[in-house]
Amino acid sequence: MSGGQGMGASVTRKEDRRFLLGKGRYTDDIVLPEQTWGVFVRSPYAHAAIRSIDASQALASPGVLAVLTGDDVAADGLGGIPCGWQIKNKDGSVMVEPPHPALAQGKVRHVGDPVALVIAETKAQAKDAAQLVAVDYDARPAVAHLNAAVAEGAPLVWDEAPGNVCFDWEIGDLAATEGEFAGAAHVIAIDLVNNRVVPNAIEPRAANGHYDAVEDRYTLYTTSQNPHLTRLLLGAFTLKVPEHKLRVVAPDVGGGFGSKIFHYAEELLVLWASKRVGRPVKWTSSRSEAFLSDAHGRDHVTHAELALDADGRFRGLRVRTLANMGAYLSTFSTAIPTYLHGTLLSGPYVIPAIYAEVKAIFTNTVPVDAVRGAGRPEATYLLERLVDKAARELGIDRVEIRRKNLIQPDQFPYQTPVALEYDIGDYPATLDMALQAIDYPGLAQRKEASKARGKLRGFGISTYIEACGIAPSALVGALGARAGLYEAASVRVHPTGSVSVFTGTHSHGQGHETTFAQLVHEKLGVPVENIEVVHGDTDRIPFGMGTYGSRSAAVGGSAIVKAIDKIVDKGKKIAAHLLEASVADVEFSDGKYRVVGTDREKAFGEVAFAAYVPHNYPIDTVEPGLEDSAFYDPKNFTFPGGCHTVEVEVDPETGVVEVVDVAIADDVGVIINPMIVDGQAHGGLAHGIGQALLEECVYDADGQLLSGSFMSYTMPRAADLPYFKVGNHVTACTHNPVGIKGVGEVGAIGIPPAVINAVLDALEPLGVKHIEMPATPEKVWRAIQAAGGVA
């Protein structure tokens, strides 16, 4: 509405100023009175029994206040780190759920498994002393890679998990799928690895725990995407104290990308240790430590088959996936390869029958959980590689095979064979939009131009769908989620008309302080400058489930809108009183209450003022004050989708792949702030291109992490990427009040297969038919050599 600050306006961000002035307040910036420092002793072995821990030298080291071990954790009765989703096996039995003690008890199961916590007066003293903790390990055989972990006779990560299997899950109709394959004209098969990645938010995790003995109350400052969830898990499972005795603050957080969703042992331990030493305890991860202790992502090995009829229409899909869980089950871990992967396998296509089975496997590696996209990139990757392969082998144009199989706009709502019902979309529109943006018709000419410069140019495409707006609580409950995933908001209109919004979501780059203010402005007409968005503090915000799975605007925004609607309604009653009209005759628009059909009106600010400090108020019938709360439980997931295209140039001599053009068209639903939405897409694209070409978490067979720093794990840099062409075609989500779908993950989901498809297109003249992510120069060079070398 008014003033270019509402829906659809690229309002510059309110939060920027503090960050640009160096005045952000991140967890590690916070130093509490009497602060002490914690440093963890972590296992150098992937798998070992702990014979003994001798902390005497460390305890004698200058400044040391305590050295705490798994025995102390057990003695004090701290709970293990819980997993949030219980997955059922094919036979209906439940998954193997091994214990996850906060500090190792008896055994370590991955390099980096925390063994002891050293607390000292300074960080340097704690670090020095940590090196003096003598742990006597009895090394055991370890297993790190999926295929090795499921091999006959593989070392067991957990005795209670034979074959290292956590669960063996299935989705879809096996018989119907077999039927489609039996009658298929063509069957295309592919074997793929979805490479393991490390989330690497630039801010390393940190936690500062403070137990106040006077109030008998705990406060935790932590790098979290969802402080309320952390409080809930601390209260109910790990620290086991009532929630009113617990405050969790996630201040400014330097990126999350999934890795800061989970409740980590360090959060529990600094709180517990603070009570033990009687002073606040702060831990800040180093980057090297982050590689060994932040949950990793992806790590699937998949065999997939697509059945097609003689016309190239998809008839059936069969998928068999091994998913690495790491050594312990992290908070969302088990949901990722199942309900965020198996349910997405229909993509944007009509596929009459689908059957997928997922075996989750324990290994002696860091736990694997959600990283930007979480399950959906894995589903999209296998499907889009398979579709490209089908096109190539059947001689159908890559664009045409997609166009032919896309769900058409008039087919919505569309029930897939894998549980989801898509509400709306227009996939042909985004396909056309992306192709136009990248100038698909000019491809042949550009290929020639590249060739003249000694380069091989390739075009890649992916049409994708994702499910976000997590999550319809009843549905996810039926699927094994141990908690509903709705969202809460409170909106307080102050007497002078300014507004505070309390959201249970958390902004760590997404710009909620601006976009949610725009949402309020749109509804109430209050200028964005007069709207404060409060997030990240369980003492200030009643409840929330946090920010992940591109849910904040769709679910958290909807809760805000619901609360505002209540406020508008209440304001009508107050305005009716002020205007001496009947409530039914009062309407609200453009920030004003008006008696229908008259020029009698009251500005929203006047109503707010009257709500608090009137001289004459109908207190018997309308409660003073102008504040309300709402919980929003989505009726369905939202389904962003679109088409991602990319062009690469390969240097056939070195194997170097350069991304030269990226053009995408997404449908992320109704857009609040286009500038911010585009920014989210840009970041996701960089993340996805990183996975496709640069990033790979490598363990050796014995579980030693070989890519344990930015020296060996390649993060995308500015020079690795081009400008991105980002387009949007909006179909409004049908079941939330604003029509928002979500955008945070689209880049990471849509682009990886497009990049690899482009690399394979570039290498097609050389006879290369397959390559795995990341397509590093050596891998590309080897593929060229294996195919017979450069002509």
Partner 1 sequence: MATITLQVNEKSHAVEVEPRTLLVELLREHLRLTGTHVGCDTSQCGACTVWVDGKAIKSCTMLAVEAEGRAVTTIEGLATNGQLHPMQAAFNACHGLQCGFCTPGMVMSATELVKRNPDPTEAEVRHGLEGNLCRCTGYHNIVRAVLAAAETMRGGAQ
Partner 2 sequence: MKSFEFHRPQSVADAVSLLQGNPAAKLLAGGQSLIPVMKLDLAQPEDLISLAGIGGLKEIRDGDPLVIGALVTHDEVANSPVVRQRIPGLAALAGGIGDTQVRNRGTLGGSLGHADPAADYPAAVLALGATIETDRRQIAADDYFTGLFSTALAEDEIVTAVHFPVPERSAYAKFASPASKYAVVGVMVAKTAGGVRVAVTGAGSHAFRVPAWESALAASFTPDAITPGAVAAADLRSDGEASAEYRAHLVTVMARRAVQACQ
Which SS3 state, helix, strand or coil, does residue 553 take? Answer: helix
Among 44, 63, 82, 255, binds partner 1 (CB under 8 A): 255
3-state SS, residue 773: coil
Site for partner 1 in 11-30 (CB under 8 A): 12-13, 15-26, 28-29
Residue 201 contacts partner 1 per CB under 8 A: yes
> Rule CB under 8 A: which of 270-309 touch partner 1?
286-288
Distance CA 502, CA 517 (A): 11
Partner whose footprint covers residue 694, from partner 1, partner 2, none (CB < 5 to 8 Å by kind): partner 2
Q: Which of 511, 556, 571, 742 binds partner 1 (CB under 8 A)?
A: 511
| Residue 347 sits in the site that holds partner 1 (CB under 8 A) | no
CB of 708 to partner 2, least distance (A): 10
Using CB under 8 A, list all residues that contact partner 2: 124, 128, 131, 288, 653-654, 694, 698, 706-707, 710-715, 720, 776-778, 781-782
Between 124 and 449, CB nearer to partner 2: 124
Task: Pick the closer one to partner 2 by CB: 413 or 789.
Answer: 789
Query: How far is 743 from 677, CA to CA, in rounded Å?
Result: 7
Q: Which is nearer to partner 1, 19 or 440 (CB)?
A: 19
Q: What is the DSSP letter of 552?
A: I
Phi and psi torsions of 53, nearest 5°: -125, 120
| Residue 763 Rama label (left phi>0; alpha psi -120 to 50; beta) | alpha
Residue 381 gets which letter from DSSP? H
Q: Are 506 and 109 in contact (CB under 8 A)?
A: no
Which window, 86-94, 530-538, 618-626, 674-682, contacts partner 1 (CB under 8 A)? 674-682
In the complex with partner 1, the residue whose CB is nearer, 123 or 140, is 123
Provide, rounded to whole angstroms, the least separation between the CB of residue 16 and partner 2. 24
Greatest Cα pair distance, the chain, in angstroms, is: 90
Comparing CB distances to partner 2, the nearer of 122 and 408 is 122
Q: 76 touches which of partner 1, partner 2, none (CB within 5 to 8 A by kind)?
A: none
Side chain identity at 429, as an amino acid letter? Answer: A
Q: Which does 134 bind (CB under 5 to 8 A by kind): partner 1, partner 2, none?
A: none
Nearer to partner 2, 76 or 653 (CB): 653
How far apart are CB 408 and partner 1 at their closest, in Å?
32
Q: Return the one option of partner 2, partner 1, none that residue 654 interacts with (CB less than 5 to 8 A, by type).
A: partner 2
561 contacts partner 1 (rule: CB under 8 A): no
Q: Quick one: 128 or 378, whose CB is closer to partner 2?
A: 128
221 near partner 1, rule: CB under 8 A: no
Residue with smaller CB distance to partner 2, 245 or 287:
287
Angle at 756 between CA 750 and CA 760, to 5 degrees: 140
Nearer to partner 1, 230 or 547 (CB): 547
What is the phi-psi region of residue 619: left when phi exceeds 0, alpha when psi lies from -120 to 50, beta otherwise? alpha
163 binds, among partner 1, partner 2, none (CB under 5 to 8 A by kind): none
Q: Residue 791 binds which one of partner 1, partner 2, none, with CB within 5 to 8 A depending on kind? A: none
Binds 29, which of partner 2, partner 1, none (CB < 5 to 8 A, cut-off by type)? partner 1
Burial 351-379 (b: 16+ CB within 10 A, else e): bbbbbbbbbbbbbbbbbbbbbbbbbbbbb
Residues comprising the chain, all counted: 791
In sequence order, the β-bridge partners of residue 305 are 189, 318
Residues of span 675-714 touching partner 1 by CB under 8 A: 675-676, 678-679, 682-687, 709-711
User: Considering the complex, what minimum distance in angstroms separates the CB of residue 16 from partner 1?
Assistant: 4
Element (H, E) at 643: strand 641-650
Choose the contact partner of 706 out of partner 2, partner 1, none; CB within 5 to 8 A by kind: partner 2
Q: Minimum distance between the CB of residue 657 and partner 1, rounded to whole angstroms?
A: 16
Contacts of 303 (CB under 8 A, 6+ apart): 189, 190, 191, 192, 319, 320, 321
Cβ at position 712, least distance to partner 2 in Å: 6
State the burial class of residue 391 (Cβ atoms within 10 Å of its Cβ: 0-12, 13-18, 19+).
Answer: buried
684 binds, among partner 1, partner 2, none (CB under 5 to 8 A by kind): partner 1
Residue 713 exposed, middle or buried by CB count within 10 Å (0-12, 13-18, 19+): buried
Nearer to partner 2, 320 or 782 (CB): 782
For partner 2, the closer of residues 277 and 698 by Cβ is 698
Query: How do 353-362 and 314-326 pair as beta strands?
Result: parallel
Nearest approach, Cβ of residue 781 and partner 2 (Å) = 6
C-alpha–C-alpha distance, residues 540 and 176, integer Å: 52
Least Å distance, CB 716 to partner 2, is 9
Q: How far apart are CA 273 and CA 120, in angstroms?
A: 11
Helix (H) or strand (E) holding 476: helix 473-478
Residues 6 or more apart in contact with residue 17 via CB below 8 angstroms: 23
Among 536, 479, 618, CA closest to 30: 536
Q: How far is the CB of 648 from partner 2 (least distance, A)?
A: 15
Size of the site for partner 1 (CB under 8 A): 57
Report the site for partner 1 in 718-737 (rule: CB under 8 A): 718-719, 721, 723-724
b (16+ CB within 10 A) / e for 179-190:
bbbeebeeebeb
Residue 418 exposure: Cα atoms within 13 Å on the Cβ side: 28
Tell me which residues touch partner 1 (CB under 8 A). 12-13, 15-26, 28-29, 31, 124, 200-204, 252-255, 257, 286-288, 508-511, 675-676, 678-679, 682-687, 709-711, 715-719, 721, 723-724, 747
